[in-house]
Amino acid sequence: MTLATQPREKTAAAAPPAATGRLGRFARWWPMAALAALLAAPYSSLPLPGLLDGPIGSAGNLQLLALCLVFGALATGYDLLLGRTGLLSFGHALYFAAGSYATDVIMIEAGLPFGAAAVLGLLFGVALAAVLGSVSLRVGGIAFSMVTLAFAQAGSILVERDPGGWTGGEEGRAAPADKLPASLVGIGNTVNLYWIALAYLVVTVAVVHWAVRSPTGRVWEGIKENERRVEVLGLRPYGFKLTAFVLAGALAAVGGIVHLLLTGGATPQTTTSDFTLSLLVMVVLGGSGSRWGPLVGGVLYTWADHRLGDLAGSGSVADLPSVLRVPLSQPLFLLGTLFVVVVYVLPGGVVRLPERIGAARRTRTAPTAQGS
- Full DSSP string of 152-192: HHHHHHHHHH-GGGSS-GGG-EEPPGGGS-GGGSSGGGHHH
Residue 50 has pLDDT above 80, yes or no: no
In a domain, 196, yes or no: yes
DSSP symbols for 217-246: HHHHHHHHH-HHHHHHTT--HHHHHHHHHH
Q: Tell me the Ramachandran region of residue 139: left when phi exceeds 0, alpha when psi lies from -120 to 50, beta otherwise.
A: beta
Nearest residue to 2 (alpha-carbon basis) of 228, 214, 218: 218
Residue 34 lies in a domain: no
pLDDT tens sequence across 239-249: 999 999 999 99
Would residue 33 count as lying in a domain? no
Domain of 336 in residue numbering reads as 55-371
Share of the chain above pLDDT 70, in %: 83
Closest CA to 288 of 277, 276, 280: 280
Task: Assess if residue 99 is contained within a domain.
Answer: yes
Q: What is the rounded CA–CA span in Å between residue 357 and residue 345?
A: 12
Say which range, 105-119, 298-312, 343-357, has the weakest mean pLDDT: 343-357
According to the model, what pLDDT value does residue 174 have?
A: 92
Q: Are strands 265-266 and 173-174 parallel, antiparallel or unpaired?
A: antiparallel
Looking at every residue in the chain, the average pLDDT score rounds to 85
SS3 216: helix
Mean pLDDT of 213-218: 94
Tell whether 159 is covered by a domain: yes
The model carries a pTM of 0.85
Whole-angstrom distance, CA of residue 168 vs CA of residue 245 = 28
Domain assignment present for residue 41? The answer is no
- What pLDDT sits at residue 321? 73
pLDDT in tens, 160-172: 998 888 888 888 8
Domain count, the chain: 1
Q: Which long-range contacts does 229-237 make (Cβ < 8 Å, 24+ apart)?
A: 229/3, 230/3, 233/3, 235/3
Task: Answer yes or no: is pLDDT of 69 > 50.
Answer: yes
Residue 142 lies in a domain: yes
pLDDT at site 6: 46
Compute CA 347 distance to the chain's CA centroid, rounded to the nearest angstrom.
Answer: 19
CATH number at residue 250: 1.10.3470
Tens digits of per-residue pLDDT, 288-297? 888 899 999 9
292 in a structural domain: yes
266: helix, strand or coil? strand
